[in-house]
Amino acid sequence: MAVEVTPALACGASVTDHVHLFVSAPPKFSPAEIVRLFKGIPSRRLKKEFESLRRQYWGKNATLWAEGYDVGTAGHVSAETIKRYIEESQKKSFQGLRYQNNCATFSSMKLIAQVKLLPTPEQANALRQTIEQANAACQFVSDTAWETKTFRQYDLHHRCYQAVREQFGLSAQVTVRAIAKVADAYKLDRKRKRAFKPTGSIAYDDRILSWRLHDNTVSIWTIAGRQRIPFACGERQFELLQTRQGESDLGLCNGMFFLSATCEVEEPEPIDIEGALGVDLGVTNIAVDSDGQVHSASHINNVRHRHRRLRRKLQAKGTRSAKRKLKRLSGKERRFAKDTNHRISKKLVAKAKDTNRAIALEDLQGIRSRVTVRRSQRATLHSWAFYQLRSFVTYKAKQAGIPVVLVDPRNTSRTCPACGHIDKANRPNQSTFSCVVCGFAGFADHIAAVNISRRAVVNPPIVAHHEAKANQSLELRQSAVTSHLL
Ligand SMILES: [Zn+2]
Distance CA 47, CA 36 (A): 18
Q: How far is CA 412 from CA 372, 428, 446, 450, in A?
A: 10, 15, 10, 9
Going from the Cα of 419 to the center of ligand 1, the distance in angstroms, rounded, reads 4
Distance from residue 417's CA to the centre of ligand 1 (Å):
7
Q: Which of 342, 483, 473, 459 lies closest to 404 in space, CA to CA?
A: 459
Ligand 1 centroid distance, CA of 442 (Å): 11
User: Separation of 447 CA from ligand 1 center, angstroms?
Assistant: 11
The torsion angles phi and psi of 367, rounded to 5 degrees, stand at: -70, -25
| Three-class SS state of 442 | strand
Instruction: Write phi, then psi, for 230 (nearest 5 degrees).
Output: -70, 155
Provide the pLDDT for residue 354: 92
Q: How many C-beta atoms surround the C-beta of residue 152 within 10 A? A: 12
Give residue 413 CA to ligand 1 midpoint distance, Å: 12
- State in Å: Cα 426 to ligand 1 middle: 8
pLDDT score of 421: 92
CA–centroid distance, 421 to ligand 1, in Å, is 5
List C-alpha distances in Å: 265 to 107, 239, 339, 470: 9, 10, 22, 20
How remote is the CA of residue 285 from the centroid of ligand 1, in Å? Answer: 24
What pLDDT does residue 298 have? 56
CA–centroid distance, residue 444 to ligand 1 (Å): 13
Range 457-463 contact pairs with CB under 8 angstroms and sequence separation of 24 or more: 457/405, 458/273, 458/275, 458/276, 458/358, 458/403, 458/405, 459/403, 459/405, 460/270, 460/358, 460/403, 460/405, 461/52, 461/55, 463/403, 463/404, 463/405, 463/406
What's the 470 CA to ligand 1 centre distance in angstroms?
34
443 C-alpha to ligand 1 centroid (Å): 14
456 C-alpha to ligand 1 centroid (Å):
20
CA of 422 to the centre of ligand 1 (A): 8
Tell me, letter by letter, the H, E, C secondary structure of 327-365.
HHHHHHHHHHHHHHHHHHHHHHHHHHHHCCCEEEEECCC
Rounded CA-CA distance 101/1 in Å is 14
Of all residues in the chain, what percent carry a pLDDT higher than 90? 25
CB under 8 Å, gap of 24 or more: what pairs does 99-102 form? 102/10
DSSP-derived letter for residue 254 is T
- Give the whole-angstrom CA distance, residue 349 versus residue 363: 18
pLDDT digits (tens, 9 = 90+) for 313-322: 877 877 888 8
Residues whose Cβ atom is located within 5 A of ion ligand 1: 416, 418-419, 421, 435, 437-438, 440
77 C-alpha to ligand 1 centroid (Å): 61
Phi, psi of 327 (to 5 degrees): -65, -45
Ligand 1 centre to CA of 355 (Å) is 28
Q: How far is the CA of 418 from the centre of ligand 1 (A)?
A: 5
Centroid of ligand 1 to alpha carbon of 378 (angstroms): 25
User: What distance in Å separates the CA atoms of residue 419 and residue 50, rounded to the nearest whole number?
Assistant: 43
Q: Would you state the pLDDT for residue 99?
A: 52
Residue 405 alpha carbon to ligand 1 centre in Å: 25
Topology at the third CATH level for domain 276-297+340-485: Nucleotidyltransferase; domain 5 (3.30.420)
Ligand 1 centroid, distance to 436 Cα (angstroms): 7
Query: How far, in Å, is the centroid of ligand 1 from the Cα of 358?
Result: 26
Q: Which tens digit of pLDDT belongs to each residue from 442-461?
A: 988 899 999 999 888 644 33
Please check whether residue 13 is in contact with residue 57, taking contact to mean a CB–CB distance below 8 angstroms. Answer: no
The CA 446 to ligand 1 mean position distance, Å, reads 15
pLDDT given for residue 143 in this prediction = 93
* pLDDT, tens only, 158-174: 999 999 999 998 888 88
How far is 364 from 123, CA to CA, in rounded Å? 46
Q: What is the mean pLDDT of each run of 10 residues along the chain (486 residues)?
A: 37 48 58 59 57 49 38 50 63 49 52 90 95 94 92 91 91 90 85 89 89 93 94 87 86 91 74 84 75 73 68 79 78 78 90 91 61 46 68 86 84 89 89 91 90 72 37 29 22
Domain limits, the chain: 8-106, 112-266, 276-297+340-485
For residue 428, how far is its CA from the centre of ligand 1 (angstroms)?
14
